Amino acid sequence: MINQYIKGMLEISVEGVNLERFINRCNANGLVLYSVYRERYDLMRCTVNLADFKKIAVINRELRCRIRVKKRYGARFLINRVKRRKAFVIGAAVFAVFIVILSSSICRIDISGINRVTATQILEVVNEMDAGVGIFKAKCDTKALEMAIRRELPDVDWVIVDIKGVVMDIRVIETVEGEKRTDTTPSSIVSEVDGEIVYISSLRGDQMVNVGDKVKAGQTLINGIIDRRKDDNYYLIRNAMGNIKARVEYTGQAMIKLDEVASRVYTGNTTEATYISVFGLKLGDDKAPTYEHYDTESVEYNVFSENRLFPICAVKKTYKEYILLSDEELKSKAREMLIKKACSDAKRRIPIGAKIEAQDIDYSFDEETNTFYASAKITAVHSIGVKKVLTQSEIDEITRPEGEKNKNG
């Protein structure tokens, strides 16, 4: 079919009486008819090869059908048309060449995944490898570029260079910095507060306490001076390391007088009234609300500043309803406030991240002074170890005994 298209095809209409005879004659002479369609009894359409059309003319001499060419297909006719429009063809060819050239080089570089490494560093490596913007894609060796980036930039753990269309996509995965041990100063871990040990894990140093032991603030939990006299006849001095958690009690106190507690509680219901005051006369609606108890807020807007000659102002009043608490309600509110105060007093010393286990509150009321007193006891579990640097004198004092050697680990 493509071959026929290149050579050329014609769509013809055949008008005549015995069209079946026409078709059979064409076939008998080796002509191939395509898309034969009968429109009327005496009219049909079909498509024939350009080379066969001449033979149809010969066949038709006897049959005397009326043959008209309706359409022309094929590269041959296209070339004839193009011959008349040379400038268009040249322009199209130049355009195609430009498109091919432009799309075969890299126009943009996208870099992603960088944090410590900068885009400038990566682009420097790319330019050194002759793989930047404007370079032909075929000339660009992505594998070599990946290896060069990893070699030149030690912070890059892995890199993927991919060329999609005219864009070079560089995806970087950086190395993860590990913790470096720099502190080798001899030290022990001591308790920051009083508490009961619930968890201890000694990574370096001598463990001095166990789970369940009650410790005091300043007590050594993990000793940096490790006693090896029994086995190796020396002391090992280390920078102690470990994790110790303890259950610690925190207390808080608070007091509140009944008079200090607001006996009013606002319901949230409000009413507004606005009116204009002219020389003291009220023009507008200023009806008092129907609330039993209410507070009034008033705002005035002067029409003329200072209002000396023409005291005209707009007044907006807001009435807020409140209810008065009974004695029992007041005491209950006071107790709530007191408990909150006592707990916050206790909690302000608890470190962030501590797990609170229990909370106990005791309160009492002094009728003479109308004052509530409360004390809160909160039990929390958290890490209690802090590093204490061992001075030389402390080390000497412990390791001094006669006939024994000291070694620094």
Query: Which residues of this chain interact with another protein, rule CB under 8 A?
Result: 19-20, 23-24, 26-28, 30, 32-38, 41, 44, 46
Question: Among 51, 60, 58, which Cα is nearest to 13's?
Answer: 60
In the complex with another protein, the residue whose CB is nearer, 26 or 197, is 26
Number of neighbours of residue 73 by Cβ within 10 angstroms = 15
In the complex with another protein, the residue whose CB is nearer, 24 or 307, is 24
In the complex with another protein, the residue whose CB is nearer, 10 or 380, is 10
**What is the C-alpha separation between 359 and 350, in angstroms, rounded?**
13
**What is the C-alpha separation between 149 and 146, in angstroms, rounded?**
5
Under a CB-based contact definition with an 8 Å cutoff, are residues 123 and 108 in contact? Answer: no
Under a CB-based contact definition with an 8 Å cutoff, are residues 373 and 363 in contact? Answer: yes
CB of 41 to another protein, least distance (A): 8
Q: Provide CB contacts within 8 A for 320, sequence distance 6+.
A: 266, 269, 270, 294, 295, 297
* Tokens 């026409």 -> residue: 22
* Tokens 């916050």 -> residue: 344
CB of 31 to another protein, least distance (A): 8
Radius of gyration of the chain from Cα atoms? 50
CB of 40 to another protein, least distance (A): 10
Sign of the dihedral through C-alpha 211, 217, 222, 228: negative
Under a CB-based contact definition with an 8 Å cutoff, are residues 195 and 386 in contact? Answer: no
φ, ψ for residue 303 (rounded to 5)? -70, -45
In the complex with another protein, the residue whose CB is nearer, 35 or 118, is 35
CB of 20 to another protein, least distance (A): 5
In the complex with another protein, the residue whose CB is nearer, 1 or 309, is 1
**What is the C-alpha separation between 285 and 229, in angstroms, rounded?**
97
Under a CB-based contact definition with an 8 Å cutoff, are residues 331 and 366 in contact? Answer: no
In the complex with another protein, the residue whose CB is nearer, 20 or 368, is 20
CB of 33 to another protein, least distance (A): 4
In the complex with another protein, the residue whose CB is nearer, 21 or 387, is 21
CB of 164 to another protein, least distance (A): 41
CB of 14 to another protein, least distance (A): 12
CB of 75 to another protein, least distance (A): 21
Q: Provide CB contacts within 8 A for 1, sequence distance 6+.
A: none
CB of 53 to another protein, least distance (A): 15
Report the b/e string of 222-255 with b at 16+ CB within 10 A.
bbbbbeeeeeeebbbbbbbbeebbbbbbbebebb
In the complex with another protein, the residue whose CB is nearer, 26 or 172, is 26
CB of 19 to another protein, least distance (A): 7
CB of 149 to another protein, least distance (A): 57
In the complex with another protein, the residue whose CB is nearer, 46 or 380, is 46
In the complex with another protein, the residue whose CB is nearer, 70 or 407, is 70
Question: Among 60, 70, 85, which Cα is nearest to 9's?
Answer: 70
Q: Which amino acid is at 21?
A: R
Note the Cα 144 to chain centre separation in Å.
33
401: DSSP letter? -
In the complex with another protein, the residue whose CB is nearer, 44 or 334, is 44
**What is the C-alpha separation between 329 and 190, in angstroms, rounded?**
49
